[in-house]
């Protein structure tokens, strides 16, 4: 393996991807596996999980999985305990991907809606970070990636509770990046635009909504999971928020003083940024509008 190949290899690294059987989570599992990582994923549906695991095994990917509803505190704890046994108490990458939405006017949301959406989109990710911290620290080079949304940055008519939860996720990423830098743990938040996943079907299946989405997207179409998965799998400078519009890329630095990492590592993160930029620019230029 050449030095260039080693630079972007994840051979020998371990990862947990929540909700890895559909949409962006599925694409991230395949992206990480393609780089050589050993992955564990979870899903609520055992049939979907087993089907994905079978397909990944045929492709030679090192992926295991377990049935888990991350909204449940006890199931989250059980998942991390199992992960600790699988990976000998160490975890390099935590991808907090699970999310859901209910679309209503603000005045129509109930207390139950609020609890469900916050538990799924924010509380589960927060608690997963707490549980995984010892494993990430033990690895000596931990990475946390949150799957957020542009809705957590700008106003979109996708529901105020969902947007509030995603805004909180973005801030959580910046705080953890600063607080846990001393433990060699990085934290980033990837905030996609509308992506063709089951979660977005409600909007993309409506011609009026789709027209508005296209009009606000420079590329003129929703994004694909594979266009987000690369950002979710590459290590970029800590404490950041990555907005992912097709044909739009913007880096927003966190509140940490530059950089909350050993100076010897700075050049590597700079190169990672350049690599991401080139990758996105090249992919964009290959697409016919």
| 106 part of a folded domain | yes
Tell me, yes or no, whether 102 lies in a domain: yes
Quote the pLDDT of residue 23.
Answer: 87
The token pair at 47 is: 């049939």
Amino acid 212: pLDDT: 66
Structural domain of 32: 9-285
Which band of pLDDT confidence, cut at 50, 70 and 90, is reported for residue 33?
very high
What pTM value is reported for the model?
A: 0.77
Q: What's the pLDDT at 254?
A: 40
Catalytic residue among 114, 162, 248, 277: 162
| Number of independent structural domains in the chain | 1
Mean pLDDT calculated for residue range 11-20: 94
User: Has residue 239 been placed in a domain?
Assistant: yes
Q: Is residue 204 part of a domain?
A: yes
How confident is the model at residue 244, as a pLDDT?
45
Contact assessment for residue 1 and residue 36, using Cβ atoms and an 8 Å cutoff: no
What per-residue confidence (pLDDT) applies to 242? 52
Residue 118 has pLDDT above 50, yes or no: yes
Number of Cβ atoms within 10 Å of the Cβ of 59: 10
Q: What gap in Å lies between CA 62 and CA 32, rounded to an integer?
A: 10
Answer yes or no: 162 catalytic. yes
| Domain CATH number, residue 175 | 3.40.50.720
CA dihedral 81, 53, 51, 148 (to 10 degrees): 70
The answer to whether residue 4 is domain-embedded is no
Whether 68 is in a domain gets the answer: yes
Least confident span in 67-71, 98-102, 139-143? 98-102
Determine the average pLDDT of the residues in 170-176. 94
**In a domain? residue 1:** no
- Does residue 2 sit within a domain? no
**Rounded average pLDDT over 171-193:** 91
């Amino acid at each position: 393996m050449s030095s260039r190949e080693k630079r972007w290899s994840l051979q020998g690294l371990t990862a947990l991807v929540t909700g890895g059987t559909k949409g962006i989570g599925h694409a991230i599992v395949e992206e990480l596996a393609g780089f050589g990582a050993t992955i564990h994923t979870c899903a609520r549906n055992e049939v979907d999980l087993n089907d994905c695991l079978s397909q990944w095994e045929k492709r030679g990917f090192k992926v295991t999985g377990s049935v888990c509803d991350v909204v449940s505190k006890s199931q989250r704890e059980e998942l991390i305990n199992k992960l600790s046994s699988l990976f000998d108490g160490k975890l390099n990458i935590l991808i907090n991907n699970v999310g859901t939405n209910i679309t209503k006017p603000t005045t129509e949301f109930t207390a139950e809606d609020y609890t469900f959406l916050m538990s799924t989109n924010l509380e589960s990710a927060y608690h997963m970070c707490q549980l995984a911290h010892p494993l990430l620290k033990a690895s000596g080079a931990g990475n946390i990636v949150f799957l957020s949304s542009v809705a957590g940055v700008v106003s979109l008519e996708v529901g105020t509770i969902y947007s509030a939860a995603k805004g909180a996720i973005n801030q959580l990423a910046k705080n953890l990046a600063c607080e846990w830098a001393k433990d060699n743990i990085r934290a980033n938040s990837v905030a996609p635009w509308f992506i063709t996943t089951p979660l977005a079907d409600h909007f993309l299946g409506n011609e009026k909504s789709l027209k508005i989405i296209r009009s606000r997207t420079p590329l003129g179409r929703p994004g694909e999971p594979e266009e987000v998965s690369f950002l979710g799998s590459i290590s970029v400078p800590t404490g950041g928020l990555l907005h992912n519009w097709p044909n739009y890329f913007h880096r927003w630095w966190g509140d940490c003083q530059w950089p909350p990492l050993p100076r010897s590592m700075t050049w590597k993160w700079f190169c990672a940024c350049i690599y991401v930029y080139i990758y996105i620019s090249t992919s964009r230029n290959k697409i016919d509008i």
